[in-house]
Chain A
Amino acid sequence: MSDIGAARAEVSQVPTTTGGMPEAEAPEQRERSASLWADARRQLMRSPVFLIASGYILIVISMALLPFLWTRKDPRACDVVFARQGPSAEHWFGTSIVGCDYYAHAIYGARTSLIIAVCATAGVTLLGGVLGMVAGFYGGWVDTIISRVIDIFLALPFLLGAIVFLTVIKIRNVLTVTIVIVVLAWPVIARIMRGSVLASKHLDYVQAAKALGATNTRLMFKHIMPNAVAPVVVYATILLGTFVAAEATLTFLGVGLQAPAVTWGVMITQHEALFLQHPGLLLFPAGLLFGTVLSFILMGDALRDALDPRLR
């Protein structure tokens, strides 16, 4: 992964969950469901950091889904005559280098950034999750082959691979960027899922289910997965933030989406040179980007703390 990606890998300190059987509390106390997920949900609802972070994300999602709630202006209604104006009543954050309403740009920019991040994360989680689960569960030569493939992909640093691929393919749209991210990042989730499944496979309750005659698919999906999936959920949350930043980084390097696409990355890249005279033009989209990435990381951290049975 890119520097951001691997940094986030260590930030998240992905836990391997063990056990997770619902336990009855001492009879004198009220019976609360003490399963891993119920407990986690309770803890998350009480964490101010998690609530603020998810609040921010909800705001950004609303910007993406319902931009008209936030602005009536069209980000593409640009007139160079009005370029580089400071904030005013007409344009809340001024105008861009080509005279577009900056605020509208930022609102609509959320959409593209989030679409790429969400689709990429979904793809990575699906592809990586399935392959990791298969590798961990079946073991043997299936595991050997998949693990070798994972090693091969992980030897290619994310940014370098993305640059190479996007250079030769020359078409830069949402689809190609998303595909590049999925192709290069799925091994990370696969490895986590595989490790998690391996840890869960030998737990007593799985062996018990097996002894009771559960089929392989049932074992995988009903018994192993609810437990093994916890570290994956944590990491996927953090990946959402990573991919938002990655997309902007690719734009900056010239291999991602370029103008006239409306994304935060484009906004930042286009207005770099004006930083000292009009710092707001850089800081506004950068701040939105930073806030989004930070929120996803904090949510992932909070999820990890909530799902780690050792910290209870």
Chain B
Amino acid sequence: MGRYVIRRLLQFVPTVLGTMFLLHYLTSVGIQFSANPVRALFGERAPSEQLLQNVAERVGLGDPCLERKGDPCLGLFADRLEGIFLHFDFGVNLRMRPVTELMADALPYTLRLVLIAIVFEGVVGIIAGVLAALRNGGFVDYLVKTSTVAVIAVPSFVLGFVIREFVGVRFGNVLRGSGLPDWVATGLFSPGFKPDYPWATLVIPGMVLGAVSLAATARLTRTSLLENIRSDYVRTAKAKGLGQKRVIGVHALRNSLIPVVTFLGVDLGNLMGGAVITETIFNVPGLGRLVVGAARSGEATVVIGVVTFLVLVYMLASLLVDLLYAVLDPRIRYE
């Protein structure tokens, strides 16, 4: 096990550097082939080269390599890495406010949202998948199969929007007239985030965020369990005279959940992408809305900084999931 952990850690470092460089290269090439984002600050007015250069340097986009198309900008890359890992500096926005400040404000909301989504997707997804597999061919199975495909096919921004309108606005209005407690009518069924109810108003957005992943989790659990039920070791367990509950609940399930758990870890990346959409629709002041807002207003440095942070978080989570996988599957430990 120790050797596996060390190997994973050693693989982790170059991968992090590689991804950081990929992000860096994508953005540098993008800037090289279009205009320097700093220009957008000046709107219609054409600033002098000197002024442009000064402003650009102050926000970290002043390196002359950004003028040369195709230059990998290694100097800039080294500076950025130094900033991130030694000073925890993710850049500044065009008004010189540190991105880390902006992120600190936004982070708690995104964390809550993602937490709700993961719990929702994990619990409901696994239960639905198990039920569908156990009653294979039955009504529950059919229901799970069709509803999951439908949910996956609907683009999440459409799904989120429709739910917001029907559940948050229409249904919410109905509830707000009736005598239900406030946290339900105004909190739970709110069409958007309200600071008065920081958790309640995030429940539905969290569920929307987790919806597609839930569908995938349910399908994966179902397929995995169905496969394992037909495996040789389950036949042996039955031959040992073990009851159905133990055969499926202990033997089959333990093996079936391994790919599901690893999927939940990988899914974190999708949740981050999805959070961008969900926060925009439900007006949650989290990291996603921050990124979209910055993208719309051309604040390239903020976009780069926040995405870099999110990618680092995702890679850390992937590493933890990899280690967890070794705990769950003994065959991996001794590779």
Q: Provided the pairs A155-B311, A276-B169 are in contact, do residues A2 and B274 lie with their beta carbons within 8 angstroms?
A: yes
Are A160 and B149 in contact, CB atoms less than 8 angstroms apart? no
Are A158 and B273 in contact, CB atoms less than 8 angstroms apart? yes
Q: Which of A10, A157, A241 has the most CB of B within 10 A?
A: A10
**Interface size bucket, A side?**
35 or more
Closest to B310 in A: A160
Which residues of A lie under 8 Å from residue B263 when comparing CB positions? 10
From B23, B31, B156, give the contact of A249 (CB < 8 A).
Answer: B156
Q: How far is the CA of A6 from the CA of B31 in the complex (A)?
A: 29
Q: How far is the CA of A171 from the CA of B303 in the complex (A)?
A: 17
Which residues of A lie under 8 Å from residue B30 when comparing CB positions? 165, 167-169
Which residues of A lie under 8 Å from residue B213 when comparing CB positions? 3, 7
From A155, A245, A272, A282, give the contact of B315 (CB < 8 A).
Answer: A155
Q: How far is the CA of A63 from the CA of B314 in the complex (A)?
A: 41
Are B292 and A163 in contact, CB atoms less than 8 angstroms apart? yes
Q: How far is the CA of A249 from the CA of B155 in the complex (A)?
A: 7
Which residues of B lie under 8 Å from residue A297 when comparing CB positions? 149, 152-153
Q: Provided the pairs A3-B271, A170-B35 are in contact, do residues A165 and B26 lie with their beta carbons within 8 angstroms?
A: yes
B67 at the interface (CB under 8 A from A): no
B236 at the interface (CB under 8 A from A): no
Are A163 and B276 in contact, CB atoms less than 8 angstroms apart? yes
A253 at the interface (CB under 8 A from B): yes
Q: Provided the pairs A155-B318, A255-B295 are in contact, do residues A3 and B156 lie with their beta carbons within 8 angstroms?
A: yes
Q: Provided the pairs A10-B219, A153-B22, A168-B31 are in contact, do residues A253 and B14 lie with their beta carbons within 8 angstroms?
A: no
Closest to A7 in B: B216
A159 at the interface (CB under 8 A from B): yes
B27 at the interface (CB under 8 A from A): yes
Stretch at the interface among B74-82, B157-165, B176-184, B238-246: B157-165
Closest to A275 in B: B165
Q: How far is the CA of A13 from the CA of B152 in the complex (A)?
A: 14
What 0/1 readout, one digit per residue, does chain B (193-228) give for beta carbons within 8 Å of chain A? 000000000000000000011011101100100000
Which residues of A lie under 8 Å from residue B48 when comparing CB positions? none
Main secondary structure of the interface of A (DSSP, over half): helix
Are B15 and A155 in contact, CB atoms less than 8 angstroms apart? yes
B142 at the interface (CB under 8 A from A): no
Which residues of B lie under 8 Å from residue A275 when comparing CB positions? 161, 165
B229 at the interface (CB under 8 A from A): no
Q: Provided the pairs A6-B266, A11-B216, A268-B158 are in contact, do residues A164 and B152 lie with their beta carbons within 8 angstroms?
A: no
Q: How far is the CA of A11 from the CA of B220 in the complex (A)?
A: 7
Which residues of A lie under 8 Å from residue B133 when comparing CB positions? none
From B22, B153, B161, B272, give the contact of A157 (CB < 8 A).
Answer: B272
From B31, B37, B150, B270, give the contact of A5 (CB < 8 A).
Answer: B270
Are A167 and B152 in contact, CB atoms less than 8 angstroms apart? no
B154 at the interface (CB under 8 A from A): yes
A134 at the interface (CB under 8 A from B): no
Closest to A238 in B: B152
Q: Which of A4, A148, A167, A276 has the most CB of B within 10 A?
A: A167
What 0/1 readout, one digit per residue, does chain B (20-44) give for beta carbons within 8 Å of chain A? 0011001100110111010000000
Minimum C-beta distance from B30 to chain A (A):
3
Minimum C-beta distance from A312 to chain B (A):
14
Q: How far is the CA of A185 from the CA of B219 in the complex (A)?
A: 22
From B18, B37, B267, B294, give the contact of A152 (CB < 8 A).
Answer: B18
Are A286 and B158 in contact, CB atoms less than 8 angstroms apart? yes
Which residues of B lie under 8 Å from residue A166 when comparing CB positions? 295
B291 at the interface (CB under 8 A from A): yes
Q: Which of A6, A276, A282 has the most CB of B within 10 A?
A: A6
Q: How far is the CA of A245 from the CA of B156 in the complex (A)?
A: 9
Are A10 and B155 in contact, CB atoms less than 8 angstroms apart? no
A36 at the interface (CB under 8 A from B): no
Q: Provided the pairs A168-B37, A248-B155 are in contact, do residues A157 and B27 lie with their beta carbons within 8 angstroms?
A: no
Q: Provided the pairs A149-B18, A163-B291, A163-B295 are in contact, do residues A3 and B274 lie with their beta carbons within 8 angstroms?
A: yes
Are A157 and B212 in contact, CB atoms less than 8 angstroms apart? no
Minimum C-beta distance from A39 to chain B (A):
21
Are A272 and B161 in contact, CB atoms less than 8 angstroms apart? yes
Minimum C-beta distance from A149 to chain B (A):
7
Which residues of B lie under 8 Å from residue A7 when comparing CB positions? 152, 212-213, 215-216, 270
Q: How far is the CA of A7 from the CA of B273 in the complex (A)?
A: 13
Q: B residues within 8 Å of A by Cβ?
A: 14-16, 18-19, 22-23, 26-27, 30-31, 33-35, 37, 148-150, 152-158, 161, 165, 169-170, 212-213, 215-217, 219-220, 223, 263, 266-267, 269-274, 276-277, 280, 291-292, 294-296, 298, 300, 303-304, 307, 310-311, 314-315, 318
Q: Which 6 A-B pairs have the closest CB atoms?
A: A168-B30, A159-B273, A152-B18, A294-B153, A3-B270, A7-B216
